[in-house]
Amino acid sequence: MLRERVEKAREIAEHELVAVLKRDEEGRPKALLVPGGEGKQYQVLIRRNAAFETECFLWTALGPVPCRGNQNGHVCYHSLAAVFAAAREAGFRFMVTDSLENAERLARIGGEIKELRSRQGSGHLFLVILKKRSAQKDLDDLFG
């Protein structure tokens, strides 16, 4: 279930269990370490192109192994947790849905639609990114 994966991912990010391993030239998280079940560790790589693209690897004694959570058209919850953590750090929040139609409906209340794709399969989701409120906007709302 997508909802379960999203909740699990959001919880991991909110508890600050995701570690940033590498950043891009703009300082945004590019490689992140995400805890999985049974004490396993996953490394998620995020690419920011027209869509967000993720790759997830389970770390084993023999080296990195592609995460199986990205089979069958899914985007694994480790990848989602990494994206949640990166968004949290940047001060953004977003909603997740698996259809463009739903994303468009959600975006009507204000939000930018961005696709999230797994580079390890056909899995893709849609994020509705809610704009960061500026301090000025808060002041305007209070005193405007």
Binding residues (CB under 5 A) for Zn ion: these are 42, 56, 67, 69, 76, 78
Q: Which amino acid would we find at residue 144?
A: G
**Beta carbons of 52 and 83 less than 8 angstroms apart:** yes
Residue nearer to Zn ion on the CB measure, 42 or 52: 42
Q: How far is the CB of 78 from Zn ion (least distance, A)?
A: 3
Q: How far is the CB of 34 from Zn ion (least distance, A)?
A: 7
Residue nearer to Zn ion on the CB measure, 12 or 56: 56
Instruction: Give the Cα separation of 43 and 76 in Å (integer).
Output: 12
Other beta carbons within 10 angstroms of residue 135's beta carbon come to 7
Q: How far is the CB of 1 from Zn ion (least distance, A)?
A: 16
Q: How far is the CB of 61 from Zn ion (least distance, A)?
A: 18
Q: Please name every residue paired with 22 in a beta bridge, in sequence order, or none if there are none.
A: 31
Find the Cα–Cα–Cα–Cα dihedral 63, 23, 20, 90, rounded to 10°. Answer: -150
Question: Taking each helix axis from N to C terminus, what angle separates 77-90 and 2-14, rounded to the nearest 10 degrees?
Answer: 50
